[in-house]
Amino acid sequence: MYKVFVNDKPIILSDQISTDLEYEFCLFSEVRIEEVLHKLRHTNVKGFYIYNADLEELWKVFQSFFEVVEAAGGLVVKEDAYLLIFRNQFWDLPKGKMEKGESIAETALREVEEECGISKLTIEKPLTDTHHIFYENKTNKLKITHWFLMNTNDDKKPIPQKIEGITSAEFIKKKSIPELYAAMYMNISELLINYFKTDRK
């Protein structure tokens, strides 16, 4: 299954038939992507469930409708606290677009350093990718963000990259993070919820 957000409404791509009546169901062979996007942006439709027997073929063809933008970022942990940023009235994780010649991991490390002013970062493991669609320069774009769990032993206080609209960067205790979910984009809150389900620290 792939989940792609349009604002905070999901498009679920799956090779399983859905019985969930909350979302509109359609076969990929019959779907009109522009119509799906319009309904998600301009009506009270809660989401779409798109079915195809071959999931990877579905994902490949779905991507072909968009300009794909690859990005990477990090969930940085230090002791029992996690590094979050505050931008445009939302709590978020540091991330950014890949630059030419970079690996995904290099992008993730660079973006965390730039957006939060910390260093001495090490990657522990990859996390789940997130996907969302946005409209820019008269084009619908699909952003695929690759996430990594990171550690740091940098003692410096994080410094938000204000030129990027970040007004705060801080380590927040794990127990306090659920209080912030309502002020996060859904793909970020889901990433954290799924991570904390498996994290036993």
pLDDT score of 18 = 82
First to last CA, the chain: 28
- pLDDT tens-digit map of 128-146: 999 999 999 999 999 999 9
CATH 3.90.79.10 residue ranges for the chain: 69-198
Would you state the CATH architecture of domain 69-198?
Alpha-Beta Complex (3.90)
How many CB atoms are closer than 10 A to CB 144?
Answer: 19
- pTM assigned to the model: 0.93
Give the pLDDT confidence of 59-90 residue by residue, as tens digits: 999 999 999 999 999 999 998 899 999 999 99
